[in-house]
Amino acid sequence: MAKAGRSRCGCCCVMGWIFGIIAAIVVLLGIAVALFFAIVNPQKMKVQINDATITKFNLTEANQTHWLHYDLEFNVTIRNPNRIMGLYYDDFIPGVYYQSDEKTIKNYVDSRWMNFYQGKKNTTVMRFRFNGKREVYLLEAGERTRYIERFEKEKSAGIFSLDWKVEFRTRVKLGAIRIGIFQPKLRCGSSLVPFFGGNYGQKRANVTSNVAKCGVKFKATSIFEPLD
């Protein structure tokens, strides 16, 4: 009897202890998170694409296949506004599309791949040159007509509207500690890029329209979502 009673009481005591410990851990975690935000004040990186120029952009057709021949350059400028956090960029991929649509990855032109580290309060400017040729998949006649019409119009205006996509994964460096991986979603939209090739004049697009600022969003599915 006594044994059973003691064991019931022991059970209660153990439960009390467990709840107490859990409550303490929750409170401590809350304090740690609040302190983290107060001290580290994490902020998102700022990404933009500027200074883009095109020196070659021609469309050729051979055997019912369209090819885009391109030679273009642009800068990707990334700023880490954080005072305390360094940022690693893994699988950083800037890409260019022409006449693409938001949902598909159609009309991809070119991209690069790289990894780098960016210190606190630092701005990284990278200039990329993409040149080569890419098959353009224009399956139905209507699509082909629209593509070619817009292409000719932009070529004679001396300005092409290019669509940018930037992807990367990032890890945070806090002293010796590394936190992450985070995979933000970027929306860079498009920019008007002057075309300096061919016989179509050397019209300069207004440089102000030659900047695409990327919206950076950290999803809930990121391991941890502090960067806001």
Ligand X SMILES: *[C@@H]1O[C@H](CO)[C@@H](O)[C@H](O)[C@H]1NC(C)=O
The residues, any chain, with a CB within 8 Å of residue 119's CB and separated by 6 or more, are 80, 86
Q: Assign 67 to helix, strand or coil.
A: strand
**One residue of 44, 46, 56, 150 binding ligand X per CB under 6 A:** 56
Q: Let me know: does 180 contact 170? Beta carbons within 8 Å.
A: yes
CA 171 and chain centroid, separation: 14
- In this structure, are strands 212-217 and 185-187 parallel, antiparallel, or unpaired? antiparallel
Residue 115 is a binding residue for ligand X (CB under 6 A): no
Residue 53 is a binding residue for ligand X (CB under 6 A): no
Stretch that binds ligand X, among 1-9, 89-97, 122-130, 143-151 (CB under 6 A): 122-130
Stretch that binds ligand X, among 28-36, 56-64, 106-114, 163-171 (CB under 6 A): 56-64
- What are the beta bridge partners of residue 122? 80
Residue 206 is a binding residue for ligand X (CB under 6 A): yes
Minimum CB distance to ligand X, residue 80 (Å): 9
Stretch that binds ligand X, among 59-67, 91-99, 145-153, 217-225 (CB under 6 A): 59-67
Nearer to ligand X, 7 or 123 (CB): 123
Specify whether the backbone of 174 is left (phi greater than 0), alpha (psi in -120 to 50) or beta.
beta
B/e letters for 1-30, b = 16+ CB within 10 Å, e = fewer, are eeeeeeeeeeeeeeeeeeeeeeeeeeeeee
**One residue of 125, 137, 153, 225 binding ligand X per CB under 6 A:** 125
Site string for ligand X, 149-188 (x = CB under 6 A): ----------------------------------------
Residue 204 is a binding residue for ligand X (CB under 6 A): no
Minimum CB distance to ligand X, residue 95 (Å): 18
**One residue of 40, 44, 46, 50 binding ligand X per CB under 6 A:** 50
DSSP 199: T
Selection from 14, 131, 121, 33 nearest residue 74 by Cα: 131
The residues, any chain, with a CB within 8 Å of residue 158's CB and separated by 6 or more, are 194, 195, 200, 201, 202, 203, 205
Residue 58 is a binding residue for ligand X (CB under 6 A): yes
Binding site for ligand X (CB under 6 A): 50-51, 56, 58, 60, 62-63, 69, 75, 77, 119, 121-122, 125, 127, 197-198, 206
